[in-house]
Chain A
């Protein structure tokens, strides 16, 4: 069920900097969702963007979607040490969900 790739695989930044993660996928989608996972625990849903949307904001998060390029990006602004986690994108195609390979973000205090 893993159909996408995320890059970078790992990202290390200083607190206060912005972090950008990219997700590419292969098939048509209904929506794309971003999740955060801390230390192998459950996934926390961050934001959902539908296939007819191009950009969405939620607090310090900004997500873009380019269906022509089959890609999405997640921007975290003014990062904090607490943002340290793995981030996954997941695409929905009807009743199937496909996860990207994930980006490990390390925010240094």
Chain B
């Protein structure tokens, strides 16, 4: 299985500010995804992070609010911009590919609280 780390693990931020979350994988992977999980809810896909090109966003999510970078096959960042309390969620990075091309593995998540 892929080993995925995320930084930071948690943060408390003021509204109007931005936070960048990093996702690092221990092996090269085909696909990387970013999810949001609001309190008590299931996971919602924000976007697919594409290596060397713009991310593919799901309906309801836009690049200005959630810019994503993926400079190589093992690393990606998600920025939550101009935050409001509604952005308080767990943000999860996931990957598919590498040693196992079927299974989707998840990072430990970043718990974000916006005041």
Q: Binding site of B, secondary structure by majority: helix, strand, loop or mixed?
A: strand
Q: Which residues of B contact A42 (CB under 8 A)?
A: 4, 92, 106-109
Cβ < 8 Å to A, chain B residues 90-110: 90, 92, 94, 102-109
Question: Is B109 a contact of A102 with CB atoms below 8 Å?
Answer: no
Of B14-22, B41-49, B69-77, B78-86, the stretch lying at the interface with chain A is B41-49
Question: Is A97 a contact of B109 with CB atoms below 8 Å?
Answer: no
Residues of A at the B interface (CB closer than 8 Å) are 1-2, 30-31, 33, 35, 40-45, 48, 50, 88, 90, 92, 95, 97, 99-102
Q: Which residues of A contact B111 (CB under 8 A)?
A: 40
Q: Which residues of B contact A30 (CB under 8 A)?
A: 102
Question: Is A100 a contact of B42 with CB atoms below 8 Å?
Answer: yes
Residues of B at the A interface (CB closer than 8 Å) are 1, 4, 31, 33, 35, 37, 39, 42-45, 48, 58, 90, 92, 94, 102-109, 111
Bound form: Cα–Cα A1–B94 in Å: 14
Partner of B42, one of A40, A44, A95, A101: A101
Question: Is A1 a contact of B44 with CB atoms below 8 Å?
Answer: yes
Bound form: Cα–Cα A95–B106 in Å: 16
Question: Is A45 a contact of B1 with CB atoms below 8 Å?
Answer: yes
With A45-B1, A48-B103 in contact, is A40–B43 under 8 Å at CB?
A: no
Question: Is B106 a contact of A43 with CB atoms below 8 Å?
Answer: yes
Bound form: Cα–Cα A35–B106 in Å: 10
